[in-house]
Structure 1
Amino acid sequence: MTVTGKRIIVTGGSRGISAAAIAAFTEAGAQVAVLGISEEPGRRLAEKVSAEGPGTATYYRADVSDVAGTRQTLDLAVRALGGLDALVNVAGVEMHAPAESLSEEDWDHVFAVNTKGTFFTTQAALPHLKEHGGCVINFASDVALVPYPNGAHYSAAKGAVHSLTRTLAAEWGGHGIRVNAVNPMMWTDGYENYRARMSPDELAAHDAQQVHVIPLGGKLGDPSGDLAPVLKFLVSDDARFITGQIISVNGGAVQVR
């Protein structure tokens, strides 16, 4: 499952799942370009993981909803890496509102980052990946597979990522490019903030529900211990015959059908 020497771009910046992925890749000896909008945390993370080695990371400021700007930044990062072996599209945004009160602005923003950003960043990577093959990992969500009250725009955007993943896998397989998606259910900073907004009774009810919903462990997974190994596998040559798949890393909470 080696990724030593792989040249990888990770979008989404410096926190949560992105940070865990970047750390895992560099610990395994990969060369990573970090694309995100939070400049100071992104630079700090890149410096930290590079100091720990053996791989390296370099931060580039990019907003994936800015298609032209992201394309320019991605090209710059690929030149610095000396090529590209994998693109990991972690960048995303989640907002909550009842469907009847969703504004056009909220809908467009969620799609601009989660769907448009994922597609056009991947399209920008295509010329580089076509040189010798490689892989794309898109980040979707299990909420695209089940009802998600108060998140119609988010679930729809992630459902589009599922469809996009399968279509690009079919179109680009002839170039030796694998395209897969992961649906993570991970314990992140954002989830900590969500928990902090609950009352003690709400939190107790929530945790009891998690025990019932998630067969393995009864709570959300750890980005470093549970998700990062899956990402390393998908980037590695050991996954050379896997493409067009939606892979849920969720402790069994939702099954892909």
Structure 2
Amino acid sequence: MPAPRAQFHDLLDRSVLVTGGGSGIGAALVEGFARQGARVAFVDIDEQASRELAERVADETGRAPLFIAADLRDTEAGRRAAETAAAALGALHVLVNNAARDDREPMDTVTEASWDESQAVNLRHFFFMSQAAAPHMRRAGGGAIINFSSIAYLLNMAEIPAYATAKAGIIGLTKSLAGKLGPDNIRVNAILPGMIVTERQKRLWLSDDAIAGMQERQCLKRSLTADDLVGPCLYLASDCSLGMTAQTMIIDGGAL
């Protein structure tokens, strides 16, 4: 499916920071915001893929996104990335917490170290990036934080206990941050993707049988791709959703 053609005119020149923006879902979001005329910065650990993306998006949209190299497991590095983005973009109106890694590890092999690693990669930085972005949003008169969770924690998947815990925790964090930041006109919502077929997923986890099985379960009988998440994210970032906070939006083709 092609990326959405809808135009959110209020996103023109709005300042947006996307975490994990170098590939997969994050790359689609970076391109999507750039096509709306937003000023976009993104954080990623993969420098080569990120620089290639920034060049391609600049060529195709005329809007050059700013790549900031950082490992978000390092809280201070994430904080510096937020400050760099705000300074370069002149403000910070939208934060998309997307960075994650869905490693498979069954219960019997999880260690304290692997558990803590999963929470650091998939949950902890959502809070600290939000904490770093909030003062800039207050100065801007408000903003939007969009947290990417997953339907994975609703599916009783045996091989991802740490990941599922993190993705469930994002929902609790979303609601808590919405309560705290609402008086500052900062909205906080979450998107829960279903099975999104990316090149990484196909390389590591998704067989043809798994994809076919999920399509059978879905109401929409096609594979979902990263582009299917762009429109919902743009909507939550835009003034179309000014009355919406502390909510979750499931984008799974009707699997649940």
- 1:48-81 deviation line (CA, Å, top 9, x unaligned): 2122224330101011111011101210111010
Work out which of the residue numbers 22, 26, 32 in structure 1 matches 2:34.
26
Residue of structure 2 equivalent to 1:6: 14
Q: Does 1:152 align with 2:161?
A: yes
In 1, distance between residues paired with 2:58 and 2:66? 8
Match 1:106 to one of 98, 107, 114: 114
Q: Which runs of 5+ in 2 are unaligned?
A: 1-7
1:188 equivalent among 171, 194, 198: 198
For 2:253 and 2:82, the matched residues in 1 are separated by 34
TM-score by length of structure 2 reads: 0.92
After superposition, what is the alpha-carbon deviation per residue over 1:74-94, rounded to whole angstroms, capped at 9, x for unaligned? 101110100011000110011
For structure 1, the 5+ residue unaligned runs are none
1:69 aligns with 2:77: yes
- The alpha carbon displacement at 1:195 in A equals 5.5
Q: Deviations over 1:97-132 (max 9, x none)?
A: 221221111111110011111111111111101111
Aligned residue in 1 for 2:180: 171
Check whether the contact 1:182–1:246 (CA below 8 A) recurs between aligned residues: yes
Could you tell me whether the CA contact under 8 Å between 1:64 and 1:118 is conserved in 2? no
CA distance in 1, matches of 2:202, 2:109: 26
Q: Secondary structure at the match of 2:190?
A: strand
Per-residue deviation, 1:211: 2.9
CA–CA distance in 1 between the matches of 2:205 and 2:163?
20
Question: How does the TM-score come out when normalised to structure 1?
Answer: 0.91
The SS at the match of 1:130 is: helix
Instruction: Tell me, yes or no, if the aligned pair for 2:54 and 2:65 is still in contact at 8 Å.
Output: yes
Aligned length in residues:
246
Identity %: 33
Deviation at 1:13, TM superposition (A): 2.9
Residue deviations 1:178-211 (CA, integer Å, cap 9, x gap): 0001011221122221367x5xxxx34x244223
Report the RMSD for the aligned CA atoms in angstroms.
Answer: 1.4
Confirm or deny: 8 A CA contact 1:92 1:113 kept in the other structure.
yes
